[in-house]
Amino acid sequence: MKKAFKLRKPGLLGSPFKILILNFIAWIVGVLWITPFIGIFMTSIRPFREVVIYGWWAFAPFTFTLKNYIDALFNPMFSLGKGILNSFIIAIPSTLIPVSIAALTAYGFARFSLPVKKYLFATILFLMAVPQQMTIIPIFFLLRNLHLLNTYLGLILIHSSWGIPWITFFLRNYFSLLPVELEEAARVDGATDFQVFRKVVLPLALPGLISASVLQFAWVWNDFFFALMLIFDPNKMVVTQMLPRLKGQYQVDWGLLSSGSVIAMLAPLLIYALFNRYYMRGFRGWAMKR
Amino acid sequence: MAKGVKIVNIWKIFPPKVVALKNINVEIKPGEFFVILGPSGSGKTTLLRIIAGLEIPTKGKIVIGDKEVVSVEDGVFVEPRDRNIGMVFQNWALYPHMTAYENIAFPLRLKKLPEDEIRKRVKEVAEALGIADLLNRKPAHMSGGQQQRVAVARALVKQPDVLLLDEPFSNLDARIRVTAREFVKELQKKLGITTILVTHDQADAFAVGDRVMVLRRGETQQVGIPEELYNNPANVFIANFIGDPPMNIYKLPTSHKIIKSLDIPSEIGKEYSEVFIGIRPDEAVALEPNNEGHLEGKVVIVEYVGSRRYAKVDVDDGVSLRVLLECNANHGDPVKIKVYKLHVFAPEGKRLTTITY
């Protein structure tokens, strides 16, 4: 892996022309990426009329208002607040459960030998490629037979099992980067396999665990498809399900919708910001060492 | 109470067919400082790991004290944690997320000792090793020598029956290395703990070892006290491997005039058409040509090693000997070489005889 990074010859990167081109591309991608976001944000903090008449990019009459946010949060028909609460109820266990289970399986794959390990791991990788839409009908019937349709637990179980394969893959690579002597030292010091895992491996793999958790949390939070299929009681709906209901019956209230979107985005954004340090370290470690 | 270690018929074969250890047998006495010496790939670390229980042998058994800790034939395997051994790894393997104190306390925590007992014992061992003022630091904030002491403290704190050291000096600067060797040796003698050290460096081995075992390609070459390995090398490999500057070794036909002038017993000439001769640079001298000597030659180089002077002397076509220079000869001057001790080895390597003049 180290070699791949040496490909970036210092002279190549140093040439002014190269810097110009790289900057140009980076800026284009960045601007394309952030424009819709700015649009949503601008729409959410201005009266709807102003946006419709002049467009969100116009600054001429600029009225700042929080009305959209207040309406979205305290909508009498569709409570976004309730949706956010539900999202937390789903997303927190749907992160903790698969990360804990996948940490164990990943450690098993990284350090222990079992007869068909290679094939088992290949199967896990293969199953990661299966699209959700292909599995939703059997999942639906499975949950119905278990009487878990339209329950928090049902959706949590589905998200958790969907998360385990990729987190296993992610963490296995992370664990196999850790120096094995530390684990051997712990074994000689008197630790059982599980103590080695809990007292040495887990603390050292913290950046990796946090990276996986942040990704899984954001993924579950942003999920619309599974929630739409498996939850239909308005009191149990998650925030991504609540959002489209804000748009109204006959005309679309873009102001309300965009303020709702911004509110819904806040949770994953805050999580990224909070764990940014670990998250970056987790990925750096994952990508470079070896 | 110190315990001995018996290594019986140990084989290790890494699939498909890399033979790392071939039938190793040795008995390490209680309280002994035993060194396993060998070049890289000799299987020395594998042997240490088998003793620790980090590796399982393909055949054979290990007995610590009077308890079998692994025996392939009897189906016995005791986990490393139940062997009561302390081990210091080559890179020390300190837990980076713990302070020195936590590192040393770790084995005691696993034994679930009461907290004040742990504190007492960590303090004791830290004071003995002179690291009492480092206890709050993490490994990243310690020098190599300090990390090594913490690693030794961690290995010793649970009062193990056997201490295993895997190349403990190889990551240290030359200067610190000398102190570290003395320190480890003194500590071992004070505690009387059975210690097994693995190294590729003969200076390490000779500095600390009561006895040294030389391994090569998984086979025991010789086991003995350092003097014995130096004075009576069992074969050409040991002769070549041990000693600095290295022994002069040449393979010559028994009819060669050098062999003739060295008075090698005639039986050897009858049995072998070729032999290896070995002369240590410190066991032969170059003198003025008017002296008596075994061989004649011309000085090629004069070199200083420490306080001694060596001359490389061309004796014959393709044969040049490094010997102690005891006259004022310079490049190109003729000298006589007087040999005090000569080793003769069979063509396949085994030592046949040693002649003292």
Structure ipTM: 0.82
* B213 shares a domain with B274: no
Percent share of chain B, pLDDT over 90 = 55
Do the Cβ atoms of B295 and B315 come closer than 8 Å?
A: yes
Q: Give the end of a domain, one of B187, B212, B237.
A: B237
Distance from the first to the final alpha carbon of chain B: 47
* Whether pLDDT at B57 is above 50: yes
pLDDT bin (cut points 50, 70, 90) of residue B45 is very high
Interface of B with A in 151-180 (CB under 8 A): 154, 158
How much is the pLDDT for A18?
86
* B294 shares a domain with B148: no
* B336 shares a domain with B192: no
Asked if residue B226 has a cis previous peptide bond (ω within 30° of 0), the answer is no
* H helix and E strand count, chain B: 10, 20
Strands annotated E in chain B: 5-14, 18-28, 33-37, 59-64, 67-71, 76-77, 85-88, 162-166, 194-199, 211-216, 219-224, 248-253, 274-279, 284-287, 295-305, 308-316, 319-325, 334-339, 341-345, 351-356
How much is the pLDDT for A177?
87
* Whether pLDDT at A20 is above 60: yes
pLDDT digits (tens, 9 = 90+) for A198-222: 999 999 999 899 999 999 999 999 9
DSSP chain A: -HHHHHTS-HHHHHSHHHHHHHHHHHHHHHHHHHHHHHHHHHHHTS-HHHHHHH-TT--SS-----HHHHHHHT-SSS-HHHHHHHHHHHHHHHHHHHHHHHHHHHHHHHH---TTHHHHHHHHHHHHTS-HHHHHHHHHHHHHHTT-TTSHHHHHHHHHHHHHHHHHHHHHHHHHHS-HHHHHHHHHHT--HHHIIIIIIHHHTHHHHHHHHHHHHHHHHH--HHHHHH---TTT--HHHHHHHTT-SSS--HHHHHHHHHHHHHHHHHHHHHHHHHHHHHHHHHHH--
* B85 shares a domain with B34: yes
* B216 shares a domain with B275: no
pLDDT digits (tens, 9 = 90+) for A228-247: 999 998 889 999 988 888 77
The sign one gets for the Cα dihedral A156, A157, A158, A163 is: positive
How much is the pLDDT for A284?
67
Interface of A with B in 246-285 (CB under 8 A): none
B-interface mutation test, from A113, A189, A197, A204, most B Cβ less than 10 A away: A189
* Length of chain A as a residue count: 290
How much is the pLDDT for A287?
52
Averaged pLDDT for residues B104-111:
93
**A184, A190, A200: residue with CB nearest B107:** A190
The interaxial angle of helices A152-177 and A80-111, nearest 10 deg, is: 40
Q: What is the pTM of this model?
A: 0.80
Average per-residue pLDDT in chain B? 90
How much is the pLDDT for A1?
35
pLDDT digits (tens, 9 = 90+) for A40-61: 888 888 888 888 788 777 777 7
User: Hey, is the C-beta of A180 within 8 angstroms of any chain B C-beta?
Assistant: no
Percent share of chain B, pLDDT over 70 = 100
* Whether pLDDT at A109 is above 90: yes
How much is the pLDDT for A225?
93
pLDDT bin (cut points 50, 70, 90) of residue B1 is low
Q: For position B73, which CATH number holds?
A: 3.40.50.300
Say whether A185 and B95 touch across the interface (CB within 8 A): yes
**B-chain residue closest to A200, CA distance:** B95
Q: Which of B19, B27, B24, B28 is nearest to B9 (CA)?
A: B24
The domain tally of chain B equals 2
Report the range of poorest mean pLDDT among A149-153, B170-174, B332-336: B170-174
pLDDT bin (cut points 50, 70, 90) of residue A12 is low
User: Hey, is the C-beta of B225 within 8 angstroms of any chain A C-beta?
Assistant: no
Domain spans, chain A: 2-65, 77-288
* B77 shares a domain with B191: yes
* Whether pLDDT at A260 is above 60: yes
Mode of pairing for the β-strands spanning B284-287 and B59-64:
unpaired
* B257 shares a domain with B210: no
Q: Which domain holds residue B214?
A: 5-237
Both tokens of residue A262? 């911004």
How much is the pLDDT for A256?
85
Query: What whole-number distance in Å separates Cα of residue B151 and Cα of residue B121?
Result: 15
Say whether B91 and A200 touch across the interface (CB within 8 A): no
Average per-residue pLDDT in chain A? 86
Highest-pLDDT range among A14-28, A119-133, A182-196, B316-330: A182-196
How much is the pLDDT for A2?
37
Averaged pLDDT for residues A255-259:
87
* Whether pLDDT at B352 is above 80: yes
Say whether A192 and B81 touch across the interface (CB within 8 A): yes
Averaged pLDDT for residues B3-32:
92
* B311 shares a domain with B199: no
* B10 shares a domain with B74: yes
Q: Give the end of a domain, one of B211, B237, B263.
A: B237
* B191 shares a domain with B280: no
* B261 shares a domain with B127: no
pLDDT bin (cut points 50, 70, 90) of residue A286 is low
* Whether pLDDT at A11 is above 80: no
Query: What whole-number distance in Å separates Cα of residue B60 and Cα of residue B9?
Result: 5
* B199 shares a domain with B68: yes
Distance (Å) from the alpha carbon of A175 to chain B's nearest alpha carbon: 15
pLDDT digits (tens, 9 = 90+) for B255-291: 888 888 888 888 888 888 899 999 999 999 998 888 8
Say whether A185 and B87 touch across the interface (CB within 8 A): yes
DSSP lists the bridge partners of residue B5 as B28, B64
Averaged pLDDT for residues B176-203:
89
**How far from chain centre, in Å, is Cα A53?**
36
CATH number, domain A77-288, options 1.10.3720.10, 3.20.20.100, 3.30.420.110, 2.60.40.420: 1.10.3720.10
